Amino acid sequence: MILSDFDLKTYIREGRLKIDPLYDDTIQQNGVDLHLADEIGLPRLDKGILDLAKHDPREWFRIERSENGITISPKTSALFTTIEVVEMPDDLMAICGLRSTIARLGFTSPTTYVDAGFKGQLTIEVYWSHDFPIRVYPGIRFLHVIFLKCLNKVEKPYRGVYQWQKGVRPPKPLVEEIEAFKRLI
């Protein structure tokens, strides 16, 4: 079941779902629109090949902050983060996508999920698809989040490394995961 604006207001009013700050333009018909923070993560092109079995991917990103906008080069991916902190209850999960206006400008983004029990700002990868640069500004509504009710509360609420993340959070290292899988086979 997808939560409507009525359902979202009820969850928020009862304190089951928290979005802070909650702006007047946040709650939409069947989801919420979240705002771009004043920092984004951009790829570092001077690092060579990122080998997931050897390197920490966080070193392949640089964080840029500006209240006056940040320029994204043509055909470049970036990590956007929300101003808002979201606290998910154990009976909701969410699917994130770009607002239609942002997509129509030329941004794309893979589907991103927010697990039941997650708490923190959301970091989303976006790709600027055009051959010219673009300047983005803090405060624009860029992300549309749809909340889905689970049939039951989850048994294992999210408690991973991104819990309580603040600001842009580059991807975690996968070296240990790759090594653990090698031991399984």
93: how many CB neighbours lie within 10 A of its CB? 20
The DSSP symbol for 139 reads: T
* Chain Cα centroid distance, residue 24: 21
H helix intervals, 93-135:
100-105
Q: How far apart are CA 104 and CA 39, in angstroms?
A: 22
User: Among the options 87, 125, 176, 177, which is catalytic?
Assistant: 125
Residue 87 is a catalytic residue: no
Phi-psi region of 175 (alpha: psi -120 to 50; beta: other; left: phi over 0): alpha
Q: What angle do CA 21, 34, 147 make, to 5 degrees?
A: 100
Q: How much helix, strand and coil, in percent to the nearest 5, is found in the chain?
A: 15, 40, 45
Q: Which helix (H) or strand (E) holds 73?
A: none
Task: State the CB neighbour count (10 A cutoff) for residue 10.
Answer: 13
Q: Would you please indicate which residues are annotated as catalytic (active-site) residues?
A: 125
